[in-house]
């Protein structure tokens, strides 16, 4: 009898952390499309035989199959309570939901809506996983299947086969307070762990290649911005005498030696720069010399980049990682507000968007820049 565990404690910890990160992104995606608070808690990982796996606590259930088409080999399977799935679908479609359990089946429209929720959820999860593993990962659109059919198809009919079952606590504000289970083949989990360990080994080897450098830092100079002035045990008379002697020694070789920044300097005449004042209200334009006029003509031929900005938005890294195809980003401007016209990245004017022969254009309604500048 082989007592070797299917997964070591380290492998369980690693796959748990990977799934914790990816499901965090999935929770954000569901929160966005349902406009509700969503919490998916830390996973509980179990490597068990197929015959020992059961999900009676979730029944009646519905299954969602996710195939990986790039980056990883295999598939995984999510098992959810039907009532939980129907509650999310009803919220997405703006319908009233009753949890009387009278109908455990989803019609075509509701199954399609659930597929879209799962697509957003698992799309965000795979994006987070790709970032974590530093490789491209893509999935096919999730499909709704019957759990036993999937288990028999994907894990063969041998009851002694082993699987990895991961359970998550699942909370959706005012809709769901339950759990769901995700099932993986053991080989799939080991492949993910291998990718993680490979990245760690690469990072370690790269860090070992960096030579150590002994750096002496003058901390007084760093803090104050000045180096400390050395102390001299000399009187003023000694300093003057030494300076005069040094000056006489340097005199014959003045033309040959570079100027010593510490040697006495000549007296120079310093006066304040008097700038001509201009009256802001003076509308008269000074005459432009001919050579300056030609230079201005040359400047007038320089190309400038003009762009139009309809608005902007600020999101956290977690929210950006949750963006997928079909996501909507709300900008900081109303639909009727004028757009900003930028010249070389600087705000120049504002205007309204128009259509000119199937092309977008903009009609200037306000010039922001002062042309005199």
29 and 155: one domain?
A: yes
Q: Compute the average pLDDT of residues 217-234.
A: 44
| Model confidence pTM above 0.75 | no
140 DSSP 8-state letter: P
Q: Cα(263)–Cα(242) distance, rounded to whole angstroms?
A: 11
| More confident site: 244 or 366 | 366
> How many structural domains are present in the chain?
2
Q: What is the predicted pLDDT for the residue at 323? A: 85
Are 140 and 70 in contact, with CB atoms under 8 Å apart? Answer: no
Residue 101: closest CA among 64, 62, 60: 60
Q: What is the predicted pLDDT for the residue at 279? A: 52
The CATH number for 325's domain is 2.30.330.10
Tell me: pLDDT of 249 over 90.
Answer: no
| More confident site: 101 or 67 | 67
324 and 196: one domain?
A: no
Tell me: pLDDT of 45 over 80.
Answer: yes
361 DSSP 8-state letter: E
Q: What is the predicted pLDDT for the residue at 179? A: 95
| pLDDT tens-digit map of 154-197 | 665 555 678 899 999 999 999 999 999 999 989 999 999 999 88
Percent of the chain with pLDDT over 70: 65
The tokens for 60 are 């009646």
The tokens for 1 are 């009898």
Q: What is the predicted pLDDT for the residue at 230? A: 46
Structural domain that includes position 360: 304-367
Q: What is the predicted pLDDT for the residue at 227? A: 44
Are 340 and 347 in contact, with CB atoms under 8 Å apart? Answer: yes
Tell me: pLDDT of 257 over 60.
Answer: no
User: Could you tell me if residue 221 is inside a domain?
Assistant: no
User: Could you tell me if residue 334 is inside a domain?
Assistant: yes
Are 12 and 47 in contact, with CB atoms under 8 Å apart? Answer: yes
Domain boundary among 208, 243, 270: 208
Most confident of 27-36, 293-302, 303-312: 27-36
Domain boundary among 208, 229, 263: 208
275 DSSP 8-state letter: P
Most confident of 129-133, 208-212, 295-299, 311-315: 129-133
């Amino acid at each position: 009898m082989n007592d070797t565990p299917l997964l070591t404690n380290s492998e369980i910890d690693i796959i748990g952390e990977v799934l914790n990160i990816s499901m965090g992104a999935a929770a954000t995606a569901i929160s966005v499309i349902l406009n509700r608070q969503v919490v998916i808690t830390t996973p509980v990982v179990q490597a068990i035989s197929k015959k020992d796996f059961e999900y009676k606590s979730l029944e009646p259930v519905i299954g969602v199959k996710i195939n990986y088409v790039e980056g990883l080999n295999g598939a995984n399977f999510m098992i959810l309570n039907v009532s939980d799935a129907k509650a999310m679908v009803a919220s997405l479609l703006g319908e009233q939901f009753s949890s009387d359990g009278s109908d455990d089946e989803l019609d075509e429209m509701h199954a399609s809506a659930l597929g879209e929720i799962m697509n957003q959820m698992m799309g965000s999860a795979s994006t987070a996983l790709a970032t974590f593993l530093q490789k491209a990962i893509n999935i096919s659109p999730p499909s709704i299947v019957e759990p036993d059919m999937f288990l028999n198809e994907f894990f063969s009919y041998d009851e002694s086969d082993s699987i990895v079952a991961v359970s998550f606590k699942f909370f959706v504000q005012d809709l769901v307070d339950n759990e769901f289970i995700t099932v993986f083949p053991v080989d799939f989990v080991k492949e993910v762990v291998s990718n993680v360990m490979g990245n760690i080994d690469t990072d370690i080897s790269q860090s070992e290649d960096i030579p150590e450098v002994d750096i002496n830092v003058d901390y007084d100079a760093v803090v104050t911005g000045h180096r400390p002035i050395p102390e001299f045990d000399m009187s003023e008379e000694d300093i003057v005498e030494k300076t005069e002697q040094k000056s006489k020694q340097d005199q014959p070789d003045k033309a040959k030696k570079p100027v010593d920044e510490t040697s006495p300097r000549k007296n120079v005449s310093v006066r304040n720069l008097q700038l001509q004042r201009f009256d802001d209200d003076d509308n008269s334009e000074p005459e432009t010399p001919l050579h300056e006029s030609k230079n201005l003509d040359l400047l007038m031929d320089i190309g400038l980049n003009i762009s139009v900005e309809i608005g902007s938005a600020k999101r956290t890294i977690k929210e950006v990682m949750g963006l997928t195809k079909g996501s909507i980003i709300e900008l900081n401007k109303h639909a009727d507000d004028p757009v900003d016209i930028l010249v070389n990245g600087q705000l120049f004017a504002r205007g309204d968007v128009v259509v000119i022969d199937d092309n977008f254009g903009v009609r200037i309604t306000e010039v922001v820049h002062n042309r005199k500048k």
